[in-house]
Amino acid sequence: MASQAIIFRETKDGKGFYILLAVLGAFLALGALAFFNAEHHGHHVTGMNNQIVWGLPHVFAIGLIVAASGALNVGSIGTVFGKKIYQPMGRLSALLAISLLIGGLIVLVLDLGRPDRLIVAMTTFNFKSIFAWNIILYNGFLALSAVYIWTMMDRQVKGYYKMAGIAAFTWRLILTAGTGSIFGFLVARDFYNSAVMAPLFIVMSFAMGLAVFILVLHFAYSWTGRQLGNAVMNRLRYLLAVFIGGVLLLEAARHFTGLYIAQKAGVENFILFEGGVYTQLFWVGQILLGSLLPLSLIFCRKLVDNRVALLLAAAFTIVGGFAQLYVILIGGQAYPLTLFPGAEVSSDYFDGVINSYVPSIWELMLGLGGVALTLVMVTIGVKVLRFLPDSLSDAVADPHSK
Distance CA 311, CA 237 (A): 9
Distance CA 326, CA 282 (A): 9
Phi then psi dihedrals of residue 389, to 5 deg: -60, 150
Q: Give the closest residue to 236 by CA, choosing from 104, 78, 100.
A: 78
Q: Annotate 36-50 with DSSP letters as a single string.
A: HHHHHH-GGGSS--S
pLDDT at 210: 98
Distance CA 61, CA 284 (A): 22
Contacts of 99 (CB under 8 A, 6+ apart): 68, 373, 374, 375, 377, 378, 381
Phi-psi region of 194 (alpha: psi -120 to 50; beta: other; left: phi over 0): beta
pLDDT at 134: 85
pLDDT at 74: 95
CB atoms within 10 A of CB 95: 25
Task: pLDDT tens for the chain, 402 residues: list them.
Answer: 344 456 666 566 566 788 889 999 999 999 999 999 998 888 889 999 888 999 999 999 999 999 999 999 999 999 999 999 999 999 999 999 999 999 999 999 888 767 777 777 777 878 887 778 888 899 999 999 999 999 999 989 999 999 999 999 999 999 999 999 999 988 888 899 899 999 999 999 999 999 999 999 999 999 888 899 999 999 999 999 999 999 999 999 999 999 999 889 999 999 999 999 999 999 999 999 999 999 999 999 999 889 999 999 999 999 999 999 999 999 999 998 877 776 777 776 777 788 999 999 999 999 999 999 999 999 999 998 889 998 898 888 877 665
* Helix (H) or strand (E) segment spanning residue 185: none
What is the C-alpha radius of gyration for the chain, rounded to an integer number of angstroms? 22
pLDDT at 7: 60
pLDDT at 286: 97
Q: Is 385 exposed, middle or buried (0-12, 13-18, 19+ CB in 10 A)?
A: middle
Q: Is-contact 137 174, C-beta < 8 A?
A: yes
pLDDT at 129: 79
Contacts of 106 (CB under 8 A, 6+ apart): 369, 370, 373
